[in-house]
Chains A and B, each alone.
Chain A
Amino acid sequence: MTGKPPFEAVVAQHGPMVLRVCRAVLGRADADDAWSETFLAALRAYPELPADANVEAWLVTIAHRKAIDVTRAAARRAVPVPDLPEDTPRAHPGGPDLDLRAALAALPRKQREAVAYHYLAGLPYREVAAITGGSADAARKAASDGIARLRLSYPDGEF
């Protein structure tokens, strides 16, 4: 007996977090694809995952790679489309949440990733750095720069 829970429990426990991370990094349009690719790859590798592994960090590592794949595939598509067509910033067209999503989409990718992996996935900066490359300090700076810019572009929010 390995004691490893059924994969269904992994999806139930971490599926919402991974979807939020994918949405933060990619925007809503491509997040579903990245989520599906992430959990399909995770299911494939699950039997080999050590029983004491950090499942959140493992899933975010896979999601990070899949998000890069999805971005490349989108870039190869013939017609260039805006990153987040439905999230174009206007004067509160769809409420503050939409503005915040647009502000996230406008961040440099490294900052978006650092914000998502630290604040949404709850990973310490050491783990964030292991996923994105660079040092833990650089990951901490990217996340704090990202949050600062979100606050600038979203001054009436909770920031």
Chain B
Amino acid sequence: MNAPAHPQPSAVRGALAVTGTELRALHERLAARADAAGLLDVAYRTVDTPVGPLLLAATPAGLVRVAFASEDHDTVLATLAAQLSPRILNAPQRLDDVARELDEYFSGARHRFDLPLDFQLATGFRRAVLRQLPSIGYGQTASYAAVAAAAGRPRAVRAAGTACATNPLPVVVPCHRVIRADGSPGRYRGGLAAKQLLLNLEAA
């Protein structure tokens, strides 16, 4: 390289090259320190499951979002930055419990999630619907009408359907157990195949 008037910094940059391993170690330490300092408003990680990679995001209050790959995880994170806080880091350790319980669920060993949940992404009647869903037991199903009634508004069947279809915590809050009166699965955030897979898993 011959550029004496404006020397290229490539040699300096090369001499100061940083490796992925070094950056990962620094990132891990940053996430731990941010958490300890109360600055980690949203921690996230992804886990591989039979319904594809799931994005898990948690606030200090609990699990706040579970997202399917079809929702595009980058888009979901950008939305969380706008809706909750941009202080978001990939911090797997804060979601260890969630990942472990999901593992147990998909292996058939767990029939009920025991996790702190943050419902702030659902409001009003939708939140009331979601809070009712865990009362539908593992392997059972309920109709949208029954869910609407349980949430206190028996005539709001369509709104109950919307609440299920926009559930920010799918799989963990079992909206997949709500099906149409004719027995067909109905809408699902992760797609029909994912809903059917979960119903089959629980029926086994």
Contact = CB atoms under 8 A, between A and B. Distances in A.
Interface of A: 1-8, 11, 15-16, 19-20, 23-24, 32, 35-36, 39-40, 43-44, 46-47, 96-98, 100-101, 104, 115, 119-120, 147, 150-151, 154, 157-159
A47 B87 contact: yes
A35 B86 contact: no
Interface residues of B, number: 36
Given A47-B87, A157-B11, A16 B39 contact: no
Interface of B: 1, 7-18, 22-23, 26-27, 29-30, 33-34, 37, 39, 42, 44, 77-78, 80-82, 85-90
B29 A36 contact: yes
Nearest to A104: B12
Given A101-B15, A115-B12, 16 more contacts: A3-B82, A4-B81, A6-B78, A6-B88, A8-B44, A11-B30, A15-B23, A19-B18, A23-B18, A36-B33, A39-B30, A40-B30, A40-B34, A44-B37, A47-B87, A100-B11
A4 B15 contact: no
A158 B23 contact: no
A4 B86 contact: yes
Contact of A20 (B16, B44, B85): B16
Contacts of A119: 9, 12-13
Chain A at the B interface: SS class: helix
Contacts, number: 104
A15 B89 CA distance: 13
B14 A97 contact: yes
Contacts of A100: 11-12, 15
A96 B16 CA distance: 11
8 contacts: A7-B87, A8-B89, A11-B89, A16-B23, A19-B18, A36-B33, A43-B30, A101-B15
